[in-house]
Chain A
Amino acid sequence: MYKILKAEKLAANIYLMDVEAPRVAKHCEPGQFVIVKMDEKGERIPLTICDYDREAGIVTIVFQPVGASTTKMTNLKAGDAFRDFTGPLGRPSEFVEEDVEELKKKKFLFVAGGVGAAPVYPQVKWLKEHGIDVDVIVGSKTKDLLILEKEMEAVAGNYYPCTDDGTYGHAGMVTTMVDELVEKGNKYDVCVAIGPMIMMKFTCLTTKKHDIPTIVSMNPIMVDGTGMCGACRVIVGGEVKFACVDGPEFDGHLVDFDNAMKRQQMYKTQEGRAMLKVQEGDTHHGGCGNCGGEN
C-alpha cells in the first residue's frame, strides 16, 4: 500500500496528493509518469509526476476526475492509501540528459494548459535548480482554475498567467500569449507544451509558424504502461510509437493530434456510464436507456 500524506483540492475538479512511494521518488525525473490503482477493482491510471522529494520518499501527483476510478479517487484523504503506485514510467525529458552548459545557452519557453501546469512544474524547477531561468505561460479558462501559481512563480524566470475569460493575467488563449512574446522580440530555442490535446495541437501550430522546435507530452489511453499492451500508440512522423516506452514526450510538430484525439474518445461513452454509476450510486434504477444503470 502507498500511503497518502496530503490530499488537497487545488481548484474545482483538480486534486493534488502527496504519496509515499520511495522507489519512485528515488528514481523519477521530470517528464516521467506513474500509474496508480486505487483499489482492487480500480483502473490503472497514468498520472504525471508534479513533484518529488527523494529524501522523504514522497511523490506528488495532480489529477482531474475523468472516469469512474479518478472520480472515486477524489474521495481519498490523508491517511488513506493507494493499493498500487508504479513508476517512474516513460522516458525523462530530453534536457535531463543534456550537458548543463549547453542547456544554459538555450532559451526555453514552457506553455501549460489547465492541469498541464502540474507536469510542467518539475521541469521548470529542475532547470531553475541547474541555473536556467525559463519563460512560463500558464493558461486556464478562468482565474479560479489556475493551479500551482505560487509554486510556478517561485521557479520560473518570467511567469505569464493567461485566462480565456480575461479574469486574470493576459486575456486570451495561451497561443496569443506565445504570439505576443515572440512579437516583442523574444527568441526561443525550445518550446515545451503540455496540456489538453487540443491546446497542444494549437500551440504546435503557433510555434511552427514561429519556427520554434516544440516538445509535447502525450497522455493517451494506457493499460499496463510498460510496453506490453500497445493501447497508447500514437503516430509521430508517420510512424507508430508507444507513448509509455518511446514517450511520453515527442516532437510536437510531428505528432498526429487528430488521430490522438479520436483515440482518446474510445471509451468516452463507457467511461461516462461507469462514472454515472459512481456519482448516482444506487439511486438510479434504469429506464433512461442511456446510462447503462439498468444492468
Chain B
Amino acid sequence: MADVLKRVPVREQDAKERAANFEEVCYGYNKEEAMEEAARCINCKNAKCITGCPVAINIPGFIAQVKEGNIEEAYKVIGESSALPAICGRVCPQESQCECKCIRGIKGDPVSIGKLERFVADYALEHDIKPAKADKTNGHKVAVIGSGPSGLTCAGDLAKLGYEVTVFEALHELGGVLVYGIPEFRLPKEKVVKKEIEKVKELGVKFETNVVIGKSTTIDQLMEEEDFEAVFIGSGAGLPMFMGIPGETANGVFSANEYLTRSNLMKAFDDNYDTPIAAGKKVAVVGGGNVAMDAARTALRLGAEVHIVYRRSEAELPARVEEVHHAKEEGVIFDLLTNPKEIHVDENGWVKGMTVIKMELGEPDASGRRRPVEIPGSEYEIELDTVIMSLGTSPNPLIASTTKGLETNRRKCIVAEEENGQTSKAAVFAGGDAVTGAATVILAMGAGKAGAKGIHELLSEK
C-alpha cells in the first residue's frame, strides 16, 4: 500500500535529455496512476479547493469519477466550468490555487489536482470526446477580440448558450499567448492547443485570423457595420518593457516576447521554418517570472549557457516553483540578488558583455516584498552575446485609442467590472491581461467566463 500522505509521482523526461529537445517535459499520469492519486481525495463536504479555482471547477466531483475510472464522466464535470482543461492542467499555478487549499496538504502532499485534470483532458482529446453543444443558436451575434485564454473561454461559454460568436485574432495562428508565449516543451501546440481550439470550433464558434482590431477594423465598426450586439475584448498583454540602461538597442538584446515569439509562433528552432533566431552561446535572461523561465529554458534548448539575472532572492521569484525547479534541473544558472547596470557593445553593434551589481534586500515595498537595494562598489562584468529582457509588458494602445468611450486607468489598462467584465462603453466587455496587466492563463479564463456571463445577462434581456 502506497503512503497516502505522498502524491503519486508523475513521470518526466530526463533533465539532461530534455535540455536538448523541445518535447514535453512532463508525461502526465496514466489511468492507473490517476485512479490511485484520485483515491487520496477525501471528498470534503465543504471543498476548499473549489474556492481556490478561478473558474470554480467541481474538483471533488470530477476526482470522484476518476477514482471510479469513469473518465468520460469526469470530463463532463470539468467541462461545466472549463473549456480548456488540457491547457490548465499544464500551466495553472495549482500550488497557489486549488492545491494549496487541499486538506491533504496539512499533513502531507495535497492531491495532485492539476495532474488529474490534465489526465482527464488528455483522455478526452485522445478518445475524441466532444463537449456538449447548444441545440440551436439564439440569433445574437457576439464578437470576441483575441483568441487567447480569456477569448476562447468567453467564446466557448457563449456558444454553449447558443450565441453566434466570431473570434478575431491579430496573428496568423489561433491561441494567443498559448502559441506565441508558452513553449512547446511546457504546452504542446499540435497535440494540445490546436485540439482544444478544435473543440471550441465544434461548439460553433467562428474564427477570423489576421484581423487587428483598431487597425483592420474597429469595435465601433464591428457593432455598427457588422451587426455585433456585444463585444468581449481579450486582447492580452502588450508592449514589452525594457530597463532603459545603456546598450539596450544593441544587436543581441531581445524582449522575452520577441525571443519566444520567434521560437514558439514562428518555430525558428526548427530548420524547416524560414524565421531566424539568434540563439546565443551565453545568454542572460533578466527577470524572474514564468516568462523569464520560458525564455531561459528555450535558450538552453537552443544550445546556450543560460543565466537568470534577478534582483531579488529565490524566495521572491514570481515564477511557479515547478518551473524554477525544472529550469535548475536542466542547467539554468541563477544569478540572484543581481541587477544589470549597462550592456557593452562591440564594434559591430553586438552585445559583448554586461555590468551587473550585487543587491541586498531592504525593507518591504508596496508589493509586500523586500525591496532590493544596490550594494555600493559591488559591480562586476559578465561576458555575454545575448540579453533577453523579461520585465513584463505595458498595455497595447491599439484598441483603447480607437474605441470611443472606452475608459483606461492610470496604467493604461482597460477598466472593467470584475464580476461581469462590463467596461465604460455599453455592450463592450473586457478581461484578461488587457484589464489586469500580465497575469496567468487561468485568471484570464476566469475573466473570460465573467465576460460571457455579463454578455449573456445583457443580451438575454433583449
Partner of B216, one of A23, A267, A271: A23
Q: A72 to B273, alpha carbons, bound, how many Å?
A: 13
Residues A223 and B276 in contact, CB atoms below 8 Å apart:
no
With an 8 A cutoff between CB atoms, is B280 at the interface? no
Residue with the greatest number of chain B CB neighbours at <10 A, chosen from A227, A233, A245: A227
With an 8 A cutoff between CB atoms, is A154 at the interface? no
Contacts of B273 in A (CB 8 A): 41
Residues A233 and B274 in contact, CB atoms below 8 Å apart:
no
With an 8 A cutoff between CB atoms, is A83 at the interface? yes
Mark contacts of A279-295 with chain B using CB atoms, 8 A cut-off: 1 yes-contact digit, 0 otherwise.
00000000000000001
With an 8 A cutoff between CB atoms, is B209 at the interface? yes
Q: A295 to B303, alpha carbons, bound, how many Å?
A: 15
From 170 to 225 in chain B, residues with beta carbon under 8 angstroms from any chain A beta carbon are 170-172, 180, 209-212, 215-217
Partner of B239, one of A37, A42, A67, A245: A245
Contacts of A89 in B (CB 8 A): 212, 215
Residues B262 and A230 in contact, CB atoms below 8 Å apart:
no
Contacts of B397 in A (CB 8 A): 227, 245
With an 8 A cutoff between CB atoms, is B396 at the interface? yes
Q: Report if A227-B238 is in contact (Cβ < 8 Å); known contacts: A41-B273, A87-B216, A259-B349.
A: yes
Residues B216 and A24 in contact, CB atoms below 8 Å apart:
yes
| Count of B interface residues, CB-CB < 8 Å | 41
Partner of A231, one of B180, B210, B254, B398: B254
The residue of chain B having its C-beta at the shortest distance from the C-beta of A263 within the complex is B251
Q: A228 to B242, alpha carbons, bound, how many Å?
A: 13
Mark contacts of A72-115 with chain B using CB atoms, 8 A cut-off: 1 yes-contact digit, 0 otherwise.
10000000000111111100000000000000000000000000
From 26 to 80 in chain A, residues with beta carbon under 8 angstroms from any chain B beta carbon are 26-27, 37, 41-44, 67-69, 72
With an 8 A cutoff between CB atoms, is A12 at the interface? no
With an 8 A cutoff between CB atoms, is A212 at the interface? no
With an 8 A cutoff between CB atoms, is B339 at the interface? no
Partner of A86, one of B170, B217, B274, B398: B170
Q: A118 to B349, alpha carbons, bound, how many Å?
A: 30
With an 8 A cutoff between CB atoms, is A229 at the interface? yes
Residues B266 and A84 in contact, CB atoms below 8 Å apart:
no
Residues A37 and B172 in contact, CB atoms below 8 Å apart:
yes
Q: How large is the interface on A (under 10, 10 to 19, 20 to 34, 35 or more residues)?
A: 35 or more
Q: A231 to B251, alpha carbons, bound, how many Å?
A: 10
Partner of A242, one of B170, B239, B265: B239
Q: A224 to B209, alpha carbons, bound, how many Å?
A: 13
With an 8 A cutoff between CB atoms, is B278 at the interface? yes
Mark contacts of B246-279 with chain A using CB atoms, 8 A cut-off: 1 yes-contact digit, 0 otherwise.
0011011011011001100111000111111010
With an 8 A cutoff between CB atoms, is B79 at the interface? no
Partner of A223, one of B210, B211, B237, B262: B262
Residue with the greatest number of chain B CB neighbours at <10 A, chosen from A41, A69, A229, A245: A229
With an 8 A cutoff between CB atoms, is A186 at the interface? no
Q: A17 to B251, alpha carbons, bound, how many Å?
A: 32
Partner of A228, one of B215, B251, B257: B257
Residues A227 and B398 in contact, CB atoms below 8 Å apart:
yes
Partner of B255, one of A226, A230, A262, A295: A230
Residues B239 and A44 in contact, CB atoms below 8 Å apart:
no
Residues A228 and B396 in contact, CB atoms below 8 Å apart:
yes
Q: Report if A262-B216 is in contact (Cβ < 8 Å); known contacts: A231-B258, A271-B276.
A: no
With an 8 A cutoff between CB atoms, is A176 at the interface? no
Q: A224 to B176, alpha carbons, bound, how many Å?
A: 12
Contacts of A88 in B (CB 8 A): 215-216
Contacts of A68 in B (CB 8 A): 274
With an 8 A cutoff between CB atoms, is B289 at the interface? no
Partner of B210, one of A41, A85, A242, A274: A85
The residue of chain A having its C-beta at the shortest distance from the C-beta of B235 within the complex is A226
Residue with the greatest number of chain A CB neighbours at <10 A, chosen from B180, B262, B274: B274
Partner of A229, one of B211, B240, B278: B240
Q: Report if A87-B215 is in contact (Cβ < 8 Å); known contacts: A227-B239, A228-B238.
A: yes
With an 8 A cutoff between CB atoms, is A265 at the interface? yes
Residues A44 and B266 in contact, CB atoms below 8 Å apart:
yes
Tell me how far the C-beta of B340 lies from the nearest C-beta in chain A, rounded to whole angstroms: 16
Contacts of A224 in B (CB 8 A): 170-171, 180, 261, 265
Q: List 28 A-B contacts (CB under 8 A).
A: A44-B172, A68-B274, A69-B274, A72-B274, A84-B210, A86-B171, A86-B212, A223-B258, A223-B261, A223-B266, A223-B275, A226-B171, A226-B215, A226-B396, A228-B180, A228-B238, A228-B257, A229-B240, A230-B242, A230-B258, A233-B242, A240-B242, A240-B249, A245-B239, A245-B396, A262-B251, A262-B348, A265-B251
- List chain A positions with a Cβ less than 8 A from chain B: 23-24, 26-27, 37, 41-44, 67-69, 72, 83-89, 223-224, 226-231, 233, 235, 240, 242, 245, 259, 262-263, 265-267, 270-271, 274, 295
- List chain B positions with a Cβ less than 8 A from chain A: 170-172, 180, 209-212, 215-217, 237-240, 242, 248-249, 251-252, 254-255, 257-258, 261-262, 265-267, 271-276, 278, 348-349, 396-398
